[in-house]
Every structure is written in C-alpha cells, then in structure tokens.
Amino acid sequence: MTCIVGLVDGDRVWMGGDSAGVNGLDITVRADTKVFRNADLLIGFTSSFRMGQLLHYRLEPPHRDPEADVFRYMVVDFVDAVRGCLKDGGYAHRSNDVETGGTFMVGYEGRLFSIQSDYQVGEAVRGYHAIGCGSDYALGSLASTVGLPAEERVLKALECAELFSGGVRAPFTIQSMVRRPHLALTEAA
C-alpha cells in the first residue's frame, strides 16, 4: 500500500501521500493522513497506520543542538527515540534477535531522510525520494518533471503512482515545511 513522495526545494521540503488502506485485495480510503507534522519534522509513512499514529501522536522528537550534525542526529538521537516510541506502543517487532519497525520519510532542517524497517537512515543525493508500493512510478515522474514547481511535481508523482498501482488512492495530502533559521544566523544579520 501507499505512495509517499518527498522533494527538497531550496530550504523547503515538500511531502505528499495518498489515502489508501490496503488489506489483501481490499482497499479503504482513509480519513487519517499519512503525511503530518510533529514538532519540527514533516513525516510521511508506509507499512502500518498504527506505526504512523505512534509517530504522529506519541513520538517526542529529541532536541538537537543547532551546532550538531543533522545526519548524526537522525541516525543516533532520532532513531533511538523512534525505536523507544515503537516499542512502547507495541509496534516494534523482534525475531531472531533482530528488531524491526517500519518505513517512513522525514523532512527535517531542509533535508529529506528515509528510515527503513531496520532503522537505517538514508538521504538521496538527487533531492527527492518515494516509498511504498507506488514508489517506482512516483520516482519516474519526479525524474521527468524537473523544472516544474515543487508542489506540482509532488502531485504529478502521486497521480502517476495512482494510475499504475492498485495500492495508491486519492485524495492526496501535500504539505511543506521551511527550514527554520538558526538563532546564531539571525542574530548576526
């Protein structure tokens, strides 16, 4: 199920998601969205609505020192908070001493990260990414729409995924978040 699309446009991260809830051959268009804000994070999820609900309503993102490396923060502090949240919420799975969660995307500090089920953190160099069953279609669309406005690119990617994937359905939720200026930068100005 699902297509989540993320795109970096300058200091703004755009993210869009569909509304499909899929169980086998059954599909339900859900009112609860797969893309949302939590503090300074823009999050879009696939895998499980329960995981998304925990990330939205239970996860307390840890504070990051503005001088700290953003990627290290995501890999260490953020993922540790996610692991704790998913365990406490009864979602994390453990099998053969391997812990797994789910797959989701995070826009933070003007950057786009994907978190995989083994909790690895990825950041695509091309500035856009997609996850879920419609991701291949969305990535093809994003590659072919360079030069168009960011929101339009995200919408076209979701529409393309819906056209070709049985697990993607409108309506689509599209949000964006601007990187917050650091105090040190604004004080110097």
Q: What is the pTM of this model?
A: 0.93
Which residue type does 7 have?
L
User: Is residue 135 within a helix (H) or strand (E), and if so which, with residue range?
Assistant: helix 135-144
Is the pLDDT at 53 greater than 80, yes or no? yes
Is the pLDDT at 39 greater than 90, yes or no? yes
pLDDT classification of 96: cutoffs 50, 70, 90: confident
pLDDT classification of 180: cutoffs 50, 70, 90: confident
Kindly state the average pLDDT of the residues 107-114.
98
Kindly state the average pLDDT of the residues 63-71.
95
Q: Where are the domains of the chain?
A: 2-176
The reported pLDDT for the residue numbered 98 is 87
State pLDDT tens for residues 74-92.
999 999 999 999 999 999 8
The reported pLDDT for the residue numbered 181 is 76
Which residue type does 102 have?
G
User: Is residue 3 within a helix (H) or strand (E), and if so which, with residue range?
Assistant: none
Whole-number Cα distances in Å, 26 to 23, 103, 136:
5, 21, 22
Query: Per DSSP, what are the bridge partners of residue 183?
Result: none
The reported pLDDT for the residue numbered 186 is 46
Mean of all residue pLDDT scores within the chain: 94
Q: Which two tokens stand for residue 116?
A: 């995989």
Contacts of 73 (CB under 8 A, 6+ apart): 62, 64
State pLDDT tens for residues 124-178.
999 999 999 999 999 999 999 999 999 999 999 999 999 999 999 999 999 999 9
pLDDT classification of 182: cutoffs 50, 70, 90: low
Is the pLDDT at 188 greater than 90, yes or no? no
CA terminus-to-terminus distance, the chain? 47
HSE (side-chain half, CA atoms, 13 Å) at 52: 22
User: Is residue 25 within a helix (H) or strand (E), and if so which, with residue range?
Assistant: none
Contact 83, 92 (CB under 8 A): yes
Specify the CATH class of 2-176 in words. alpha beta
How far apart CA 86 and CA 34 sit, in angstroms, is 17
Alpha helices of 47-104 — where are they, by DSSP H? 49-57, 70-73, 79-88
CA 142 from centroid of its chain's CA atoms: 16
